[in-house]
Amino acid sequence: MIEHLGYAVELASCGQEAIEKVRAATGPFMAILMDVKMRDMDGFEATKSIRKLEQEKGYSNTIIAVTAHALAGDRESCLEAGMNDYISKPIHPDILAQKLAALAKNLLQSRG
């Protein structure tokens, strides 16, 4: 879906790989779509590790929680864990497109 919208994509198969990609990056990603349930660590733990790493790097990434849980309080739990936004599964292409377009617009405005 993301490539179809015209954005470049880097995949991480687990939380530790996501952390390593952030560690290796020379700047922030436009967005990190963080699955809340992963095999090696949950998205909350991975987000906390990324946030600590960002303090060393001097910049932050926008982290969007992706979860099948759509219960009352789930969004708040994601935000409290340090994520910036929340998308529930199944992901609706229009909602994803709107969120990414808003991020891209904000990124362009902050640079210009």
The pLDDT profile of the chain, 112 residues, written as one tens digit per residue, is 999 999 999 999 999 999 999 999 999 999 999 999 988 899 999 999 999 999 999 999 999 999 887 666 788 889 999 999 999 889 999 999 999 999 999 888 887 6
pTM, to two decimals = 0.91
CA quadruple 81, 82, 84, 87: dihedral sign: negative
What would be the CATH architecture of the domain defined by 15-111? 3-Layer(aba) Sandwich (3.40)
- Torsion of the alpha carbons at 33, 72, 93 and 99, rounded to the nearest 10: -60
User: What's the pLDDT score for residue 74?
Assistant: 81
Domain boundaries in the chain? 15-111
